[in-house]
Amino acid sequence: MMHFDYRVWLVFELIFIMGMYNIIRKYGLSNDRVPCLYMLSSSMCTLTLLDYYEVGWRVVSITYIWVAIAAMVACLSIVKSYTDKSVKWYMWIVYLLLTMVAANKEEMSVMFVIIFTVAVVMLIKEKKQVLLVALQTVVCYISLFSHLFSSDNQARYETKMVVAARSHTFIDRAIIGVSTTFRHILFEYNLGFFCLAIVLVLVIWFSKKDIIPRLISLIPLVLWFMTWIPGEIDYMFGTNTTGGPRIVATIILGVIAVLAIVICFYYMYGFNWKFVWMSVVLIAGIAGRFVVGFGNSGWQRYERTYTFLYIVMIAITAIIASDVWDKLSYRKKQVLFGVIVTLGCVGIFKNILDLGVI
């Protein structure tokens, strides 16, 4: 397959991206109106493509895009179990195989352990059919432990040369994963997170009159804009002499931003299954990126390692926009729609410039 013509790979990419789009549309969006579909498409345009191009489209397609779509299809078993839809016997095999394929990626194995563990607990609590999801959960745990104790991980040439030379302990690597993740989404002009943050502000301010949720919704956006402030702020969140981000402040503000988003989910949905799942998926996406700190990337913040987190942010952005769409006035709909579509166009233009198309 690696020797296929680039046009064949382009077809593959289009098929998988459209598949991703349709899964989010069908199982994520509560509103299937045309403006909501445009907002989903625009959100997907904020995905950064530069590092995919540098490392090679074929490699990234197989290791990230294909894994992402396999993971999304595998998670449909949770939806079907929760909605009491019957699953044919051959689909059990498909879901289990896709779970194995997706969980073979280290970042996704962490995400899956979190998502499927919570799913099993919720299905048992709701007295739903849980066997299939439980089997998938077992596969996820087996895959995660295989990553942790695999001799291949210990024998990687890059790990010997890079990680061993720095004598990183387990805690050091955990801190690397956490700090680089939070720094990237908050303090590196991340368009995907900016889109999520500004849409969250609009949704809360348009749908809530209380001052507390409105102020909380501003926190992620304010933190993102701190990137543009020079002087002491730049020093606090710049890189230190080792090339890594200044750790303590970055982690603290990252945790604050995530908590603010989760609290906004609570104000939007109350304490119900939608709130739980939105929070769990967001936390799983972030935790999945944390595991990169245990690999050979270290402080190097390759864009492709954020792919799964980007997809999570894209889905959440489209979902919260569609959930409030019918509750908004015509003028508020125009503002929300205009902001998301504009950011999508910015994403397209940014990718064109980054890839040197023009």
DSSP 64: I
DSSP 61: I
- C-alpha 193: how far from its chain's center? 10
Average pLDDT, the chain: 81
Mean pLDDT calculated for residue range 12-28: 79
CA distances in angstroms from 158 to 149, 152, 161, 172, 302, listed in the order given: 17, 12, 5, 17, 15
Contact 308, 188 (CB under 8 A): no
**CA 264, 267, 271, 273 torsion: positive or negative?**
negative
- The fraction of the chain above a pLDDT of 70, given in percent, is 79
> Which 3 state secondary structure label does DSSP give 2?
coil
The pLDDT, as a whole number, for residue 337 is 92
pLDDT digits (tens, 9 = 90+) for 116-160: 999 999 999 989 999 999 999 999 999 998 887 765 555 454 544
The pLDDT, as a whole number, for residue 243 is 47
How many alpha carbons fall within 13 Å on the CB side of residue 269? 20
Q: Rounded to an integer, what distance in angstroms lies between the CA atom of residue 355 and that of residue 349?
A: 10
The letter for the amino acid at 342 is T
Q: What are phi and psi of 239, to 5 degrees?
A: -95, 150
Position of tokens 């493509």? 49
Residue 174: count of CB within 10 angstroms of its CB:
15
Q: Rounded to an integer, what distance in angstroms lies between the CA atom of residue 306 and that of residue 288?
A: 9
Q: How many residues does the chain have?
A: 358
Residue 296 class from Cβ within 10 Å (0-12 exposed, 13-18 middle, 19+ buried)? middle
Contact 36, 318 (CB under 8 A): yes
pLDDT digits (tens, 9 = 90+) for 206-223: 999 999 999 999 999 998
The pLDDT, as a whole number, for residue 24 is 84
Contact 193, 181 (CB under 8 A): no
Could you tell me which of 181, 204, 150, 208 has the C-alpha nearest to residue 313?
A: 181
The pLDDT, as a whole number, for residue 313 is 92
Band of residue 307 on the pLDDT scale cut at 50, 70, 90: confident
The pLDDT, as a whole number, for residue 119 is 95
pLDDT digits (tens, 9 = 90+) for 222-272: 988 876 665 445 555 555 544 455 677 788 888 999 999 999 999 999 988
Q: Rounded to an integer, what distance in angstroms lies between the CA atom of residue 183 and that of residue 288?
A: 15
Band of residue 59 on the pLDDT scale cut at 50, 70, 90: confident
pLDDT digits (tens, 9 = 90+) for 149-201: 765 555 454 544 444 445 566 677 777 778 788 888 887 778 889 999 999 99
Q: Rounded to an integer, what distance in angstroms lies between the CA atom of residue 155 and that of residue 133?
A: 33
pTM for the predicted model, two decimal places: 0.86
Segment holding 229, helix H or strand E:
none
Q: Rounded to an integer, what distance in angstroms lies between the CA atom of residue 294 and that of residue 177?
A: 7
245 - beta bridge partners?
239
The pLDDT, as a whole number, for residue 312 is 92
The pLDDT, as a whole number, for residue 161 is 47
The pLDDT, as a whole number, for residue 229 is 66
Contact 135, 119 (CB under 8 A): no
Residues 6+ apart with CB under 8 A from 79: 27, 85
Of the listed ranges 2-11, 36-45, 167-176, 307-316, the one predicted with least confidence = 2-11
**CA 43, 48, 53, 59 torsion: positive or negative?**
negative
DSSP H helices in the chain: 6-27, 34-44, 50-55, 57-60, 66-74, 76-82, 89-103, 106-125, 131-149, 151-155, 157-166, 170-187, 191-207, 211-225, 232-237, 247-269, 273-290, 307-324, 330-354
The pLDDT, as a whole number, for residue 157 is 46
Band of residue 44 on the pLDDT scale cut at 50, 70, 90: confident
